[in-house]
A and B are shown apart, each in its own frame.
Chain A
Amino acid sequence: MSGHHISSAKFLWGIGIALFFLTFVTVAVTWIQIPEPWNIVVAIGIAVVKALLVVLFFMNLYWDSKFNSLLFIFSLIFFGLMIGITLLDTLFRNDPTPLF
């Protein structure tokens, strides 16, 4: 009963500041021109960390029932399937029939 997690104001502010800081970092790394694939990796990596902070500590998934986390993870898995399988087509449109 009454397992509602109450975060301290300090903690929430801490997460907020971390998010502000990471936002600044993503912008800053574009000034130093990282070469092709890595700039995307870094940008997405930082975005993932930020999203995780929000999900875990603002949306309280860290303290919440495991099933809610499972739901969240499943939505990402199915998004991954959607994009992954679609790319099987779009990336290989012009290739001839694969030979095995």
Chain B
Amino acid sequence: MATSEASTTYKKIQVRRYKPEENPEKNYLNEEKGLWAWLTTVDHKKIGLMYLASIAFFFLVGGILALILRTELWTPARSFLDADLYNQVFTLHGAIMVFFFLVPSVPTVLGNFVLPLQLGAKDVAFPRLNLASFYIYLIGALFTLTAILTGGVDTGWTFYTPYSATTGGNVIMMTLGVFILGFSSILTGVNFIVTIHKLRSPGMTWAKLPLNLWALYATSIIQILATPVLAITLLLLTMERALGIGIFDPALGGDPVLYQHFFWFYSHPAVYIMIVPGFGIISEVVSTFSKKIIFGYWAIALSSLAIAFIGFLVWGHHMFTAGQSSLANLVFSFLTFMVGIPTGIKIFNWVATMYKGSIDMKTPMVYVMIFLFLFMIGGFTGIMVGALSVDIHLHDTYYVVAHFHYVMVGGMVMAFLGGIHYWWPKMFGKMYSELWAKIAAGILFIGFNMTFLPQFIMGSQGMPRRYFNYLEQFQPFHQTSTVGAYLMGTGFLIVAIYLTYSLFKGKKAGPNPWGSRALEWQTASPPPLHNFEHIPVIINGPYDYHKPMSEFQLGVASKHNGHHAEETVDVPESAQEKA
């Protein structure tokens, strides 16, 4: 800290060193028992785990749908799905993966679990609201499942009008499901923003906030600004179907391009709702496994906010061929290039963090490498399709499909897996098999590239997306892609198996298996019900690997001290040495 601050008077508090207990008897998993206690819990950690279960379920459903699609595409002609069913399957695959898996994935699972731990708080600011948002998610999911069973939806996950206003099936049920889900997302965002502002433990200044929390903060901001627009869009669409209000339906005098503006005002920022939390995970993992202070802390922190902001200005790049004005095309194309800048800043800083670090290639770090490689390809091809003239050719081809799978699966799902592997020991106090984890990561990497690399080539040669049949010339690409998809499926299966196995037979993890300096590792694994046995006091940053561990295990010695958001803390030199 700057010396000028030394003259200001701080409130003095007594601190002690608390070494986290190795094998605590009581933890959040066994303190309250029974199904009912789980279903009504307001503990952020348990809610995170319940989300994990639900999200894993939807990932499974979405994944099976994907395999069905890929299987159909084995031959150029019809294999076993007719066109209508194919349309329904890709719609459900997209909608489930985006709305029920990817958007909630990191914030609700890892965010819920880790955020209060990283802040040194006992819980999020509104624990009951947190539980409510979980149930809202479930209700939304129920609506969606009902839609699938009562007629299905074949509009694509984008629900473009006028098709979505006139086609058969149960579109209303689906849009209502997503509408409801949106509120779950909004409430999570509200909760996180307030928690980060108000529940930081003493000494947790903005400059010491883990980058994961900066990322979640930026994500929450996007969530609260964009999701309500999705809500109103879907409400209008529902009314379009129910009452024929006609605002988006040219047959009634409306304008379908306006629908696309509404939809993408949410959905482009939403791609950053999906990826920015991944950035947060990468920052944590890179620093931990390079055993080095993060390079460019503020650059990474602020670029998250920059992405959140610029992400709102580029939505029209999805509409280059939709008939919007040439002026808008031009402006959107230009602005789209700007998104690449903060993203690039992050990548450079991560790489600089690794430079001359002592890199430990544990599984989470392996996923970081995979992320960097795949996300770079996804990002660069994003810039390609962001170029107006190029996109006229590539729009609605497999090139776009490959682009967004590289960012969403190659980027986000890999980051999510990295995060799961990173915090798994904290969540359950158990270690998984390092060998199997690496094998699975390898299979996923190979499978992923087999699946989606050929799609870039096909797309640039003109293979359109969303068709169940295709020209013979594309068959080799499609078949490679299908094989890759099954390989990936195998990879995910292996992950599920060894993670589940570790719950029962895994080695005990200990509080800090990675030797991390971050706060969540300074408590037992699994953590006690209220996270810390003491109120933690923070004097060092979460990435200060050049300082001894003992400096990171300080806590308020007396009760009801500090914990105010604004309160600054000064720790007398002698107090630090106390054991």
Contacts and interface: CB of A to CB of B under 8 A. Distances in A.
A93 B316 CA distance: 14
Pick the most buried of A67, A74, A78, A96: most chain B CB atoms within 10 A of its CB.
A78
A98 B258 contact: no
B225 A89 contact: no
16 contacts: A78-B225, A81-B312, A82-B265, A85-B313, A85-B328, A86-B258, A88-B325, A89-B261, A89-B316, A89-B327, A89-B328, A90-B255, A90-B325, A94-B325, A95-B325, A96-B326
B328 A75 contact: no
A47 B265 CA distance: 26
Interface in B260-297: 261, 265
Q: Across the A-B interface, give the 3 residue pairs with the lowest CB-CB distance, nearest first.
A: A89-B328, A92-B325, A89-B324
A91 B324 CA distance: 10
Interface in B294-317: 312-313, 315-316
Dominant secondary structure at the B interface: helix
A82 B197 CA distance: 27
Interface in B59-78: none
A82 to B, nearest CB: 6
B571 interface: no
A72 to B, nearest CB: 13
Contacts of B341: none
Given A86-B258, A89-B327, 13 more contacts: A81-B312, A85-B315, A88-B327, A88-B328, A88-B331, A89-B261, A90-B255, A92-B325, A92-B328, A93-B323, A93-B324, A96-B326, A98-B330
A74 B226 CA distance: 12
Q: Give the interface size class of chain B.
A: 20 to 34
A88 B326 CA distance: 9
A97 interface: yes
Interface of A: 67, 74-75, 78, 81-82, 85-86, 88-98
Contact of B327 (A74, A81, A92): A92
Nearest to B324: A89
Contact of B316 (A85, A91, A94): A85
Nearest to B260: A89
Contact of B261 (A86, A94, A96, A97): A86
B225 A75 contact: yes
A32 to B, nearest CB: 33
B257 interface: yes
A96 B330 CA distance: 12
B229 interface: yes
Contacts of B331: 85, 88
B326 A92 contact: yes
A74 B220 CA distance: 14
Contact of A67 (B197, B261, B265, B319): B197
A95 B326 contact: yes
Contacts of B258: 86, 90
B334 to A, nearest CB: 12
Contacts of B316: 85, 89
